[in-house]
Structures are given as structure tokens and as C-alpha cells.
Structure 1
């Protein structure tokens, strides 16, 4: 009895600490996005990130968790710990949307969409897989959320980007124009924070620490997560250096992130060497994907669609290479269902918001910047105007 109580306490504590690490990823997304948008939109992107986290937690508490899991009822850890761990995943999906629609969406429209996604759209598809629904019965494997979290967020984001349209001036004569981010140190810091928090994202998804088998699995998950991210970084660096003759930091950062996204679908079964191969290929894929999205005039300021959407699909499809319980058809079916549900329902919500209150700021407001329009506070005022004497 005493050993059972100790295991319960240990597993509960591990789940809470893992959830806290994933919560810290909210700071990573905020810093990454703040670094990659232009200075005049920095405060607004930070406002979105902290508010979406708050909305995700409240909406998932009131509605989402029950839709996804019912009343819980685990015998191995506290139900409240499971709720906390799952709620921070919802915020991750919303952060993906935040980056993709940056610099031209009304703040109120984004926040209203966030409520719908956190309370309904995300939990419904989560119930189909992690909640024991039909995707689970099909044999769909998504250990920590390459599809359930990352592809889901990217599909919702893609729908928003299509309704929203590109930023003004982004495409001239059919060619994409560079809109450099305001703060590369912040973007790099955000990536390091995300990398760090991802150990909780993937490692915590084991759900239990007690017992030698769980401990061994978590250790391998940590190593594989780190290996995939490192190799993804190198893959993106190599391809940008070979093609553009430059070490493009934004591509390199996205290479690290896509390595993390790709290994998330199944970090417990590959060898560390195979995880590195997966990450390296994902790093190559994300560079090509970002360039292709630009060619078809899909404007994504931070590369979220490529990292989380394309990277999420890639991660799901490579699972059968190391996990014998997964099949290619099962993975492809799961990816298609998640994408279709999130894309078409989100498209409907974005369209309704567009018709009722509008989702895009005016031409003048976009030129002025979302900081002054939506927030009334500029992130870098000393660089914009002279300080009063």
C-alpha cells in the first residue's frame, strides 16, 4: 500500500512538473513571434500570447476537458494533474494560430476564435484519439501530439490565413518581399525556451515516471527529442547555406522547431540515431515548405504552417518506421481526419467572424501597426520617436 501511494505521488508530481514545462513554452512562442514580427506589431503579439493562454485554460476548464476526456478517473495520478497537463497543450495549438495570422488580424477577432477552438474544436478531435474515440480504434498513433496539437493548430491557422489574405506589400509582381523581424535575439531565445519546454511536452506524455520501464522510456524520449531538434537545426542550416549561400537564422530556428514537432508523434520507439535522421530530414523539408508557401502567396510571418502543419504530417507518417503498432494507412487517415475537421470548422468560424465583425484591420491601421491600434503601447518607443526633453 505504501509503495502504491508513493508511485501515485511520484507520477502526479511528474505530470505537474511536465505541465509546468509545457506552460513555459507559452513564453517561448511569445518570444519567438515577438522577434519575427515587425517592431510596430510586437506589443500586440505579446498581448495575444498571454491572453490566448488565459482563454485556453479557462475554456478548457469549463467545457473542453469534459468534451475530450469526460470525468477523467485515473488510478495512477491525480485527475487535477492530468487536467493541468492537458490544458497547456490547448494553448500550444492556439499559439500556432497566433503566429500565422500576425500583423493584420484584429485582436478581438483572434480572441473570439480562440474561445471556440479551446472550448470545442480542439477537444472534439482530441476525443477521437486521446479520448479513446474512433481514431484510436483505427490504430492511429500520436504519442505527444504531432497531429492532435500541431497539425490541428496549423490547419486552423491555414483557414484563417486564407480568409485573411497576405500582409499589404508582401507580394509584388508575384514575388515575395522580405519583412525582417524586429528582434532576432528574442526569436532565438524563444526557440531555446521551446526546445527546453518540449522535454515536458514529450516526456510528460509518458504520463508515469514510477517503475523502471517508465523511467527508461522517459530517458529515451528526452534523448530522442533533443537529437531530433539538433539534427533539424543542422538540416535547415545545410540547405540554406547550399541554396542561398547564407546561414538564414529564421530558417535555422524553424529547423530546430520542426525537428521537435516531427519526433513528437512517437519519441519513445526510435533509436537516438534514427531520431536524428528524422529531425535532419524534417529540417530540409521545412525550408522547402516555407519557400513553397511563399510561392503560392500564403503569407505566414513566422513559418508556423510549415513547422507545425507540414512538420506535423511528416512526424505522423514516419511513426511506422519505428513503431510496429502503427500503419501508414492508419497514420494517413488520422492526419486527414484531423486536418479536415480543424480546417473546415475553423474556416466556417473565421468566415462568420469576417461577416459579423471583420477579422482584418484597415489599410491605415495595418500601416500604423497593431501596437498603437489595438494596444496603445509600443514595444520599442525609444526607437520610433525622440524622447521628450
Structure 2
């Protein structure tokens, strides 16, 4: 069951991004320790704004997959899609904020991790957003958020240079 095209969009997109990263290779100086700071994300407000815009559009993507609102069943599917999309994004971001707070001993939290968590939660709920119970969508989003954030760290350890972390979020 793939209600909103999760396989066609996210699996294919993430796999294509990985293939592109491997074919193109890393940016010049990416893995040199003397240039490490040059490649860290700097424009955090723009990253968060992009995440917010994606999240807003995700509602149309998931709920719009009903293609009509002409029956009670369509309305139920669309409303469940909106609810599960909201919960998955919230809990994906929340779990990553909690993990970053623990990681930094409650002194600061990582806003990039928040973005990974939200997007990971949204990607993870896309396939079953019409049928998954809203309570379960919280767990799905939290797991998706952890996977997205963790896979970004694994990708870095494997020296795969993905500028926008499409592989980590979508695959």
C-alpha cells in the first residue's frame, strides 16, 4: 500500500541522489580536516524556512492523493492523511530535539537535527498516511526522524558528500 507515492518519490529520489553522489564524487576539499568548517551548514534560518515550506506542501501532497472529496470515505482518508502528516512531522522533530539536548548535555539543541527529524517523519508517513492510526503515526514519525538523522551521520562516516542530505532523508 503506497497511498501518496512514497516509493515513486522518496525511494527513487533518495536512490538517485545516492547514485549521483557516488558518480560525481565529493566537492574539492570536502574531506580535508583543514577545510572542515567550510562545509558545515551556515544559513540555519533558510534551512528551517525550507523545512517549513516543505511541511506545508506535504499536506497537499498527502491529502491531495485522495484526488477527490466527493464521498465520506474520501474525506476520511484526506483528514487522516492531514492528521498523520502533522503528528509524524511533529514527533520526528521532537525526538531529534530531545536527542540533541541529551547529546549536548541540555545546554543547546541542534536546529539542523530538528529539520532532519521533521523531514524524516514526513517521509516515513507518506506511504500509509491514509490508513495509519494517528497515535501510531507519532511512533512512525519519531522512528523516521531518528533514521534520517542517524543516516546523515553514517553517510558522513562513509565519505559520501551529499550537499542537501537527500540520501539521508529520502532513502
User: Cα distance 1:176–1:294, how it changes in 2: closer, same or farther (>3 A)?
Assistant: farther
Report if aligned partners of 1:176, 1:295 keep a CA contact under 8 Å in 2.
no
| 1:156 corresponds to | 16
| 1:266 corresponds to | 128
Distance apart, 1:241 and its partner CA: 2.3
| 2:163 corresponds to | 301
Does residue 251 of the first structure (1) align with residue 113 of the second (2)?
yes
> 1:214-233 to 2 correspondence within 5 Å?
214-233=74-93
Report if aligned partners of 1:290, 1:303 keep a CA contact under 8 Å in 2.
yes
> 1:1-389 to 2 correspondence within 5 Å?
141-172=1-32, 177-178=36-37, 179-245=39-105, 246-309=108-171
Which structure is larger by alpha-carbon Rg, 1 or 2?
A: 1
Distance apart, 1:200 and its partner CA: 0.6
In structure 1, how many angstroms separate the alpha carbons of the residues matched to 2:143 and 2:151? 12
Compute the RMSD of aligned alpha carbons. 1.8
Distance apart, 1:176 and its partner CA: 9.1
Report if aligned partners of 1:150, 1:261 keep a CA contact under 8 Å in 2.
yes
Distance apart, 1:244 and its partner CA: 4.1
SS of residue matched to 2:69:
coil
SS of residue matched to 2:162:
coil
User: Cα distance 1:270–1:176, how it changes in 2: closer, same or farther (>3 A)?
Assistant: farther
In structure 2, how many angstroms separate the alpha carbons of the residues matched to 1:163 and 1:305? 14
In structure 2, how many angstroms separate the alpha carbons of the residues matched to 1:287 and 1:177? 19
Report if aligned partners of 1:235, 1:282 keep a CA contact under 8 Å in 2.
no
Larger RCO, structures 1/2 (Cα 8 Å, 6+ apart): 2
Distance apart, 1:164 and its partner CA: 1.1
Number of residues paired by the alignment? 168
In structure 2, how many angstroms separate the alpha carbons of the residues matched to 1:168 and 1:248? 26
Distance apart, 1:287 and its partner CA: 1.5
Instruction: Write out per-residue CA displacement over residues 277-335 of structure 1, whole angstroms, 9 at most, x where no aligned residue.
Output: 100111111121110000000111222111011xxxxxxxxxxxxxxxxxxxxxxxxxx
User: Scaled by the length of structure 1, what TM-score is found?
Assistant: 0.41
- Could you tell me which runs of 5 or more consecutive residues in structure 1 were left unpaired when the two chains were aligned: 1-140, 310-389
User: Scaled by the length of structure 2, what TM-score is found?
Assistant: 0.91
- Could you tell me which runs of 5 or more consecutive residues in structure 2 were left unpaired when the two chains were aligned: none
In structure 2, how many angstroms separate the alpha carbons of the residues matched to 1:154 and 1:182? 23
In structure 1, how many angstroms separate the alpha carbons of the residues matched to 2:123 and 2:8? 11
In structure 2, how many angstroms separate the alpha carbons of the residues matched to 1:255 and 1:176? 27
User: Cα distance 1:296–1:176, how it changes in 2: closer, same or farther (>3 A)?
Assistant: farther
